[in-house]
Amino acid sequence: MLRSFFTLFILCSISVYSGAEEKLNVLFIAADDMNCDLGVYGDPLVKTPNLDRLAKMGVRFDNAYCQQPLCGPSRASIMTGLRPDTLDMHTLAHELRKKNPDVVTLGQLFRNNGYFSARAGKIYHYGNPSQIGTDANDDPETWDERYNPAGIDKTQEDKINRCNDGKGLGISMAWWGPDSADEEHTDGMVASRIVDLIKAKKDEPFFLAAGFFNPHCPYVAPKKYFDMYPLEQITMPDLDEAKKDLEDVPPMAIQRDTKNWPYYFKNVTVEEARKCKQAYYACNTFVDAQVGRLLDALEENGLMEKTIIVFWSDHGYFLGEKGLWYKRKAFERSARMPIIVAAPGFSGGLSSSKPVELLDLYPTLADLAGLSAPGNLEGLSLRPLLTDPQSSDWTKPAITQIWHTPKAWGYSIRTERWRYTEWLEGKAGRELYDHEGDPEEITNLANDPEYSNTVTELSAKLKPYIKLKPHKREDS
């Protein structure tokens, strides 16, 4: 009898221990304002060897879209799995808990389930560079530990070259390429802290978030990354041709961009724009190098087979296409950004063309880690696409919305073939682009009678997602 009891005790102990050992870690890597001008997405110029390395381990999502192309609402949506309308968050204001006091954030879910949850750098919204080194709009309930480094990109702002007059660095065309080490910069410090945490927490389950500030303006990276992109290799679209792309779009689609258009800023020359584009690419490769340091740390600590790795950006970015710069637009260049997911037990080196959304990451990570997620999440787990990247069962579209004022807002739906956008539910105009033959969204087909059935069909699909609260809309 005693022997049987002892045997049962040992078996139970082994079972509990094994269960703890089987918990998968999460490495959650964020870039800021990074579009898909990346080698890993087929760009022949922009070097991303470490994102290439990550993609070989997992699935690259080629049609991934944000919920709103603005840092604050996009990041709040990612971290809650809820759309901006549900959160009632459409600006950069610090109001997540004020408006949603009981929400369970992604890091909080892992924390509630016995994980060590920590971040370094920008996960929720930060003014860049004004709030670097602070907690900014962070949510303390998400984390056990927070780290706010400030490198020379913050402490030596006076050395940054500014192309646009009268604007702060947080919305600027400005750059600096000092002869410096990676670790002198904020993003290098972010990587160093996460590397240290990987080593320190390798024997317990963790949710570690590395929030890189690049390539958000001002575009600052060590000179060695600038040297990878000789200016003669950097081209800009012809402005006369670019202007033609916007002749058939509703005014509301670009109302924030026309005051000093092109490039959003007054008196910026084409040569200055080329220099900023070079700097943006340098920043992308700088971020890629920090991703490599994180992957090396996982390998060196024997954690690669125990860790789910996600790389994402909060939205896309214009670099002169259509004469535009910056974000906050419903076009593909602004709404689309990279997502790469690598998880133990799934094949690597695959890509998916299915439309997915940033808010799908919350249910995906909960699913892969075996955690019970809140029942109100508005995304879906990407597990089916990690198993079969072209699964015919995945039919969910991607929804991106724009909110400027109660009198200026719109919604855009992206399917595998079409992007359809309504401004004030169509009262201020519509856009329809056929991505089968027009990936740059040059020709608006919304008013072409040949496509009236497509407009009607997509409008009906979009309607259930339009849930802007009454105080945020004045469209009558």
What are the DSSP calls for 341-371, one per residue? Answer: EE-TTS--SEEE-S-EEGGGHHHHHHHHHT-
The catalytic residues are 71, 125
Over residues 124-176, the pLDDT tens digits come to: 999 999 999 999 999 999 999 999 999 999 999 999 999 986 568 998 999 99
Quick one: tokens of 219? 């575009």
Structure tokens belonging to residue 57: 């381990």
Region of 143 on the Ramachandran plot (φ > 0 left; ψ -120 to 50 alpha; else beta): beta
pLDDT at 393: 97
- For tokens 């990109």, what's the residue? 153
CATH fold, domain 398-472, is Arylsulfatase, C-terminal domain (3.30.1120)
Residues of the chain with pLDDT under 50: 1-20
Please classify residue 10 by burial: count the beta carbons closer than 10 Å to its beta carbon, then call 0-12 exposed, 13-18 middle and 19+ buried.
exposed
Fold equal for 23-387 and 398-472: no
pTM of the model: 0.95
Q: Which pLDDT score, from 0 to 100, does residue 456 have?
A: 98
Q: Please enumerate in sequence order all residues whose Cβ is within 8 A of that of 160, keeping only pairs 6 or more positions apart, or say none.
A: 153, 169, 174, 175, 176, 218, 220
Any residues with CB less than 8 A from the CB of 380 and at least 6 apart, and which? 360, 363, 396
The C-alpha torsion from 471 through 474 and 475 to 476, rounded to 10°, is 110
Residue 422: its H or E element? strand 418-423
- Which secondary structure element, helix H or strand E, spans residue 120, and what is its range? strand 116-121
Indicate the domain borders of the chain: 23-387, 398-472
Q: In CATH, what number does 23-387 get? A: 3.40.720.10
Which pLDDT score is estimated for 476?
A: 56
Cα distances from 363 to residues 75, 94, 293, 295, 397, in angstroms, run 15, 24, 27, 23, 16
